[in-house]
């Protein structure tokens, strides 16, 4: 029998804050994109990590208990990774649409 994954409501389990972090690496850091990617894979707070084109190199979706918990994650983990030039954080105010269903 095949088990199906359970999708939890992040707010009901106490993760009330969601942040999109736009990460720009230094030119030296860009030569080691995989090092950054490997590091963020180890952080359970990072729900999604995308390599993107444009003004930044990565887009992260991060969840935390509250703003204070995100601040702690930012200063103690994310900002400590080598090769980071800049991180711009966007705090989500409302979750208008979130789905895991594909449009097929």
- Residue 4 is assigned to a structural domain of this protein: no
Count: domains in the chain: 1
**HEC sequence for the chain:** CCCCCCCCCCCCCCCCEEEEEEEEECHHHHCCHHHHHHHHHCCCCEEEEEECCCCCCEEEEEEECCHHHHHHHHHHCHHHCCCEEEEEEEECCCCCCCCCCCCC
pLDDT by residue for the chain (104 residues), tens only, comes to: 677 777 777 777 777 899 999 999 998 767 778 899 999 999 999 999 999 999 999 999 999 999 999 999 999 999 999 899 999 999 999 989 988 888 99
Is 9 contained in some domain? no
**Could you tell me the residue range of the domain that residue 57 belongs to?**
17-91
Asked, for residue 100, whether it belongs to a domain, the answer is: no
Residue 104 within any structural domain of the chain: no
- Give the list of residues 6+ apart from residue 47 with CB closer than 8 angstroms, or none: 61, 62, 63
Is 71 part of a structural domain of the chain? yes
Instruction: Answer yes or no: is 11 within a domain.
Output: no
Flag whether 74 is in a domain: yes
What is the pTM for the complete model shown?
0.86
């Amino acid at each position: 029998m095949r088990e199906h994954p359970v999708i939890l409501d992040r707010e009901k389990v106490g993760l009330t804050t969601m942040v999109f972090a736009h990460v720009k690496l230094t030119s030296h850091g860009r030569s080691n994109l995989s090092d950054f990617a490997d590091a963020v894979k180890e952080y359970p707070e990072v729900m999604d990590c995308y390599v993107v084109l444009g003004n930044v190199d990565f887009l992260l979706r991060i969840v935390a208990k509250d703003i204070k918990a995100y601040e702690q994650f930012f200063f103690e983990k994310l900002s400590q990774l080598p090769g980071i030039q800049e991180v711009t954080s966007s705090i989500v105010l409302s979750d208008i649409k979130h789905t895991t269903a594909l449009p097929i």
